Amino acid sequence: MFKKIAYYYILSSILFLTSCQDFLQEEAYDMKTNTNFFLTPEDAEMAMIGTYSYLADAYRQSTIEMLTQNSGAFNKGKKTNMWVAGSFDATTKEVYETWDFFFALIDRSNDLIANVSQMDVLEDEDKAAILGEARFLRAWSNFVLVRMYGRIPLRLEPTRGIDAGAVPLSSSEEVYSKVILPDLKYAKQNCAAEYDASHAGRITSGAAAAALSKVYLTLAGNVDGSAYWDSARVEAKWVMDTGLYQLTDDFNDLWTSKNTSESVFEVQYIRGIYGSGYSKIFTPAKSGWSAKNGGWSRSTATQKTYDDFRMTYEPAFPGNADGKENGSNDYGIPADYRVQCTYVDQYVRTDNGRTTFIYPTQGYKASNDSWPQIAKWKDPEAPDNFQGDNNFIVIRYADVLLMYAEAENEVNGPTDLAYDAIDAILERARKADGTARTAPANWDRTAGLTKEEFREKVFNERRFELCAEQHLWFDLVRKGVDTFMAFKTADNEHGRKTAKHGVYERGILFPIPATEMAANSKIDVTDQNPGY
């Protein structure tokens, strides 16, 4: 019953958007106005649901390679490409698609805000809740864009007319102060605390608070003593104190179920109707884990990404840093259950029945087989490449705990409260599938870690727990260009490397798309980000 309700909920947004698009093809004006659509509470609700379809578009594909491979932790197979080498530019398809998708979501949110604000038929509380959701989506879209592109056009009104899109670039400080922070604060105050299963995926006050914590961490950057650290700590603690979110008992449940107790902000997809492409993007070819028994292995983890994860809690693991083939070695089952759930170690090919071994399992041949592949998203029943059933979790409770631990450490040092947040994550990993384990062990509180040492351990724990979930690039960027470049350099120096990362300062921002410069008369090539 739950699935039927949730699927109907998302399907209604598709029908709404389809009707709008058909109408716009026939008429030269926008359908959604006060006089011809926003007349009843049902209209407002339908418009809100429809806006979520633009969120699904924004997270479907384009940002995946950009954020994974440009982080320095992923390759495209064992080969170099523009994201690994850093040779992408303002004309690259994914660069302008990501820009366009998130600005489309901003425009739909602006349209909703403008029209719902004028509706007299809505109760004040209902109106505020819908506006809270719309303002969250507007804020989040700006937050993604300002981190990826730096200065962006600040658009706070619906785009109507050819000239309405001509807006100059605003500084990141202005984007944060005029839209991101006020919108998220409004959403936290006015969004519902929780929804029933029939409204899975709707924005809640907890999602807004978690987003605020992430915004404050970003604003704190790498500044020791910044007041933003305490703001981040307060918002993360607010989410924790609601009692509405819990870590799943089994880490793997996050990838086999939807909208679990751990989900704070999750993008909804429906197999065969409005699906996702994560299984196709990440799983190996001929594995049977994606549409038509395929898989693109589009973003594969580097050796260092895997080795760091496994060796942190399993120091006896020898890795493959000497660059030699290790086909005769068997490193056994990883001590940390999360490694098993995060990476593919081997699979039986659907075309010939043979087993393909993935680094570093027994039988692996460095000259033939792939680097570590990501196992988090599988859907063998997907009917086509981008019709999978895998949702995308933008923020989950483990992320909130990690943000809290990081901010608490920056404010007060490595306190028991900071350790407690980390312990919860490690404890879940030890018992995740019902099997008692000794690894990953809790961090030793008697070791006398300094604030700097605890900070580094939290950064690495984020890499492990949230691997491939599009957090690492943002984490590196907020820590500064030196950290960003040092991370890529260290990966280049580890193990057998057939594809090295381009280590360029310009990689800390993506270029303003050439399409935007061509369409927006208020910006030109002199506004381009450095290095492009």
The candidate with the shortest Cα–Cα distance to 193, out of 129, 123, 259, is 129
Please state the domain extents for the chain. Answer: 2-191+510-527
Per-residue pLDDT of the chain (532 residues; tens, 9 = 90+): 333 333 333 444 544 434 333 322 333 334 444 456 899 999 999 999 999 999 999 998 888 889 999 999 998 876 778 999 999 999 999 999 999 999 999 999 999 999 999 999 999 999 999 999 999 999 999 999 999 999 999 999 998 766 778 999 999 999 999 999 999 999 999 999 999 998 999 999 999 999 999 999 999 999 999 999 999 999 999 999 999 999 999 999 999 999 999 999 999 999 999 999 999 999 998 999 999 888 888 889 998 999 999 999 987 776 554 444 443 345 778 999 999 999 998 899 999 999 888 888 877 776 666 788 999 999 999 999 999 999 999 999 999 999 999 999 999 999 999 999 999 999 999 998 888 899 999 999 999 999 999 999 999 999 999 999 999 999 999 999 999 999 999 999 998 766 889 999 999 999 999 999 999 999 999 999 999 9
- What's the confidence (pLDDT) of residue 329? 45
What confidence score (pLDDT) does residue 319 get? Answer: 55
CA distance readout (Å), 403 to 143, 211, 455, 474, 475? 17, 11, 11, 13, 11
Give the list of residues 6+ apart from residue 1 with CB closer than 8 angstroms, or none.
none
Query: b vs e for 186-207, b when ≥16 Cβ sit within 10 Å of the residue's Cβ?
Result: bbbebbeeeeeeeebbbbbbbb
| Domain 2-191+510-527 top-level CATH class | mainly alpha
User: Which pLDDT score is estimated for 396?
Assistant: 98
Phi-psi region at 15: left, alpha or beta (left = phi > 0; alpha = psi -120 to 50): alpha
* CA gap 255, 469 in Å, rounded: 12
Q: Could you tell me the CA-to-CA distances from 501 to 85, 195, 306, 364, 530 in Å, in that order?
A: 5, 43, 16, 23, 19
- Cα–Cα distance measured from residue 129 to residue 189, given in angstroms and rounded to the nearest whole number: 9
Query: What pLDDT is stored for residue 4 in this prediction?
Result: 34
User: DSSP letter string over 246-266?
Assistant: ---SSTTHHHHSSS-TTEEEE
Q: What is the pLDDT of residue 330?
A: 56
Check if the beta carbon of residue 246 is closer than 8 Å to that of residue 424: no
Q: Which amino acid type is present at position 370?
A: S
Torsion of CA 142, 147, 151, 152, to 10 degrees: -30
Candidates 115, 86, 143; CA nearest to 394 is: 143
pLDDT at 524: 92
Contacts of the segment 244-248: beta carbons below 8 A, 24+ positions apart: 244/193, 244/194, 244/204, 244/206, 245/206, 245/397, 245/400, 246/397, 247/397, 247/398, 247/401, 247/424, 247/425, 247/428, 248/428
CA distance linking residue 397 with residue 210, whole number of Å: 9
The H or E element spanning position 344 is strand 343-344
Q: Is the dihedral of CA 438, 441, 447, 453 positive or negative?
A: positive
How many whole angstroms separate alpha carbon 69 and alpha carbon 473?
9
Phi and psi dihedrals of 73, rounded to 5? -110, -5
Count of CB atoms situated within 10 Å of the CB of 381: 13
**What pLDDT, on the 0 to 100 scale, is given for residue 29?**
34
- In degrees and rounded to multiples of 5, residue 390 shows phi and psi of -75, 120
Strands 169-170 and 152-153 turn out to be: antiparallel
pLDDT at 1: 31
What's the predicted TM-score (pTM) here? 0.92
